Amino acid sequence: MNSDFDTYRLSEDHEAIREAVREITAARITPYAAAVDEEARYPQEAHDALVASDFFAPHVPEEYGGVGADALATCIVIEEVARGCASASLIPAVNKLGSMPIILGGGEAVKKRYLTPLAAGESTFSYGLSEREAGSDTASMKCRATDNGDGTFTLNGQKAWITNAGVSQFYTVMAVTDPDGPRGGNVTAFVVEKSDAGFTFGEPERKLGIKGSPTRELIFENCVIPEDRMVGARGEGLKIALRTLDHTRVTIGAQAVGIAQGALDLATAYVKERKQFGQAIAQFQGVQFMLADMAMHLEAARQLVYVAAAKSERHEGDLSFFGAAAKCYASDVAMQVTTDAVQLLGGAGYVKDFPAERMMRDAKITQIYEGTNQIQRVVMARQLLR
C-alpha cells in the first residue's frame, strides 16, 4: 500500500548535505572552536572551509552563481556547523539574514550586484535593523536617510548589535526616509558597502557567548548612498525587514538545534565513561531520565524547525507563526539541554577543558536575537487571534 508516510523523511540530497557538512565541520571547524572562543576571534578557518565547499551562502539562487539550496538544506548546513562551533554557524546564517531582503524585495540589478559576490564567497553580508533604543520596537528607529534630490541619500545614525560587523563588505540597512510619514511605513532599506565614506564601526562588544562572531555598532555620519542601492520601494523597508525575519528565524532555530545536539553528544559520551560507585554513571536511572528528556525535546525542536523550513521554502501564509514557534521552542530547548549537559558533566562541565560550558554560553543568545522569545510569543499570539 502506498502511503503518504513514505514521504515523511529527508530526501537523499538533504542527507548527503548533512553528511558532507558534518565531515567538514569535524575536520576543519570544530578543532578551532575552543581557540576561537578563548581568543574572541573571527573563525577564519571555518569561513575558508565553508567557501571552499559551497556552504558559505548556500541559499543564493543558481542564477546568481549560488548553489540554490532550499530552506531546509540551508538549515541543515547551519545545524551541522553549530554542533561544532556556534560562532561559525553564524556565517551561513547571517549571510542569509543580510541578503534575504534583497531576495525578497530587491530589483534585478541589485540582486546581480550583491548576490553574485556573496555566492562566490567574496564577502559576508550583515543586517542592520536594531538600534540601542529600537530593539523589539523596530518601528521607533532613529537612523535617517535624507533624500538629497540628486539621486543620492545621506545616512546619519547608528545600528546596534550587528553580527559580523567589520568583517562583512555589505550591509542591508533600514533607515527612516520620511520622518513625518506613518509609523512603520516610513522606513526604506539600502545596501551600504564597507568602503563607503562616513561609515564606521563601534568597538567590538564583549559578550557572554558566540565570541567568534564579531558584534559591533554601525555608525553613519553623512554617509552618501546612491539611490540605486535602495532595496524595494521607498517606505517598504520595515515590511521587507519583518518578512525577512519570518524566514531567518527558522535558521536560528536550526542553530539552536545544532548547539543542543552537540551538547547531547558530549553528555552522552561522558556519562558512559565517567564511573562512580563502581559503575558508569549512565547506569543510574536519574541520569538516564535526564538524557531521555534532553533527546526528546531536542527531536521535537528539530521537527518543528524542519516543518517551518518547508513553509519558508513555499512562502506559506502561516510562516510567521511557524518561524516564531521554531525559533522560540528550539532556543528554549537549546538553553535547557546545554544547561543539563553541564550538570551531567559535573565539575568537568564547569571548566573550559570541555566544551559544555561554551555551548551553554552560546545557546543563550538564541533566545534573544532575531526577536526575543517574548516577542516570538507576541507574534504567535497575533497570528492565532487574527
Q: pLDDT for 268-280, tens place per residue?
A: 999 999 999 999 9
Q: pLDDT for 104-159, tens place per residue?
A: 999 999 999 999 999 999 999 999 999 999 999 999 999 999 999 999 999 999 99
Domain 239-385 in the same topology as domain 125-235:
no
Question: What is the Cα–Cα distance from 104 to 211, expressed in whole angstroms?
Answer: 30
Residues sharing a CB contact under 8 Å with residue 2, sequence separation 6 or more, in sequence order: none
Q: Where are the domains of the chain?
A: 4-119, 125-235, 239-385
Cα–Cα nearest to 294, from 249, 253, 257: 257
How many of the other CB atoms lie within 10 Å of CB of 88? Answer: 30
Question: What is the Cα–Cα distance from 356 to 161, expressed in whole angstroms?
Answer: 25
**pTM score, whole prediction:** 0.97
Question: What is the Cα–Cα distance from 96 to 71, expressed in whole angstroms?
Answer: 10
Question: What is the Cα–Cα distance from 57 to 119, expressed in whole angstroms?
Answer: 6
The C-alpha cell that represents 101 in the structure block: 531582503
Residues sharing a CB contact under 8 Å with residue 166, sequence separation 6 or more, in sequence order: 201, 204, 214, 216
- The CATH code of the domain at 125-235 is 2.40.110.10
- The CATH code of the domain at 4-119 is 1.10.540.10
* Fold that domain 239-385 belongs to in CATH: Butyryl-CoA Dehydrogenase, subunit A; domain 3 (1.20.140)
Q: Is 38 a known active-site residue? A: no
Straight-line distance from the first to the last Cα atom of the chain, in angstroms, rounded to the nearest whole number: 40
pLDDT at 3: 53
DSSP designation for 203 = P
What is the helix (H) or strand (E) element at residue 383, kind and residue range?
helix 373-385
Beta strand extents in the chain (DSSP E only)? 125-128, 144-147, 152-163, 170-176, 187-193, 199-201, 215-226, 230-231, 275-276, 279-280
Question: What is the Cα–Cα distance from 107 to 120, expressed in whole angstroms?
Answer: 20
Q: Are 132 and 161 in contact (CB under 8 A)?
A: no
Q: Are 146 and 154 in contact (CB under 8 A)?
A: yes
pLDDT at 303: 98
Q: pLDDT for 50-98, tens place per residue?
A: 999 999 999 999 999 999 999 999 999 999 999 999 999 999 999 999 9
The C-alpha cell that represents 284 in the structure block: 543510574
